[in-house]
Amino acid sequence: MGAAVTPVADPAAGGSVLTFGKVLIRGLYAGLAAGAAAALVMLLVEKPIKAALAVEEARAVPVEESGEHHEELFSRATQIVGGMLGVLVVAVSIAVILAIVYARVQHRLPAATDFGRATLLAATGYVAIALLPALKYPANPPGVGDPDTVVSRTLLYVSFLGAGLVVAYLAYRARDSLAAKGWSGAHRSAAVAVGVVAAVALMFVVWPANSDPVPDDIGAELLWEFRLASLLLLTTLWGVLGLTFGVLLTGRK
C-alpha cells in the first residue's frame, strides 16, 4: 500500500508522482470537506422528517387508552447531531475508497489531468451509487414502508446498487477494449454510451419496484420534499468530494 502510484503525464504536476499515502491523505481531506457540506445540507431534511414524525405520532394510540407511556431514548436534537456525525463518517469512508480506487486506476481514466480524472471517477460513483438507486428506490420519510419488508427492500436496493457498479466497471473495460481495436475516441464514447443506456434501462425493467404503498396521511408534497432533500444531500456529498479531491491532487507536492 505504500508503493508509488502509477505515473501519469500531467503537465500541471510537473511530472511528479504521488505515493499511495499522499493520495489517501488528500482523499481524507476531501472526505472531511464533503462530510461537513453534506451535514449542513442534512438540516434541510429535518423539516420533512419532523412533519413525518408528527404523522406517526398522530397514528399512535393515545396514552390514556393504551395505559403505556414510551419516552424517546434520545432527544431529537441529539438525533440530529448524531445523524450529522454519521454523515461525516460515511463521507470519509467513501473518500477513502475513492482514493484507493483512484490510486490504482488513475492511469486508465479517460481524462488529461488529475482534476479531470478525480472528478470523472467521483461522477461515476455518484451515478452508480447514489443517483440510479435514488431514481429506482427513492428515499422515504419515517412512517412509510412495512417493517416486515425491510430485509427484502434492502436486498433489492443493494443488488441494484451493485449492478450499477458492475455496469460502470464494464463501461470502462469496454472503452479500453475498443481503444485496443483502434476505434476513435468519438466512436468509443458513442458505443459505450449506448451500451450503458441499454444496460441501465434493462436494470430498471428487471428489478421490481418498491411494492410498499405510501400511507394516505403522508402527503405527496411531504414525500417529494423529503426525497428531493435526500438526493440533494447525496449530490452535495459526491460533488464536494470529487471537486475537492481533484483540486487537492492538482496541487500535488
- Segment 31-47, tens digit of pLDDT: 999 999 999 988 877 77
CA 140/CA 36 separation, integer angstroms: 23
The grid coordinates of residue 147 equal 417493517
28 and 119 in a single domain? The answer is: yes
Q: Are residues 44 and 114 in the same domain?
A: yes
Q: Examine the domain organization and report whether 102 and 171 are in the same domain.
A: no
Compute the average pLDDT of residues 156-164.
Answer: 95
Report the alpha-carbon distance of residue 30 to residue 244 in Å, rounded: 5
Angle at 36 between CA 33 and CA 42, to 5 degrees: 140
Per-residue model confidence (pLDDT) at position 2: 41
Mean pLDDT of the chain: 83
Cα angle 146, 152, 158 (rounded to 5 degrees) comes to: 120
Confidence band (pLDDT; 50, 70, 90) for 56? low
Same-domain check for residues 107 and 198: no
Question: Residue 189, SS3?
Answer: helix
Residue 176 lies in a domain: yes
Asked, for residue 69, whether it belongs to a domain, the answer is no
Query: Residues 151, 154, 156, 161: what is their CA dihedral angle, to the nearest 10 degrees?
Result: -160
Counting the structural domains of the chain, the total is 2
- The pTM of the full predicted model, rounded to 2 decimals, is 0.81
58: pLDDT strictly greater than 80:
no
pLDDT > 70? residue 110: yes
Task: Report the alpha-carbon distance of residue 232 to residue 251 in Å, rounded.
Answer: 28
Cell numbers at 144, concatenated? 412509510
Confidence of residue 186 (pLDDT cuts 50, 70, 90): confident
Half-sphere exposure of 19 (CA within 13 A, CB side): 6
Which residues share a beta bridge with 4? 19
Which has more confidence, 100 or 112? Answer: 100
Strand partners, 19: 4
Looking at the fold, whether 196 and 230 belong to one and the same domain comes out as: no
Residue 203 and residue 247: Cα distance in Å, rounded?
Answer: 34
Provide the pLDDT for residue 55: 67
DSSP 61: P
Tell me what percent of the residues of the chain surpass a pLDDT of 70.
82
Range of the structural domain that residue 174 is part of:
145-213
Residue type, 151: V
pLDDT over 70 (residue 73): no
- Give the pLDDT of residue 180: 85
On whether the CB atoms of residues 122 and 238 are closer than 8 A, the answer is yes
Which of the two residues, 67 and 119, has the higher pLDDT score? 119
Least confident of 57-66, 117-126, 160-169, 200-209: 57-66
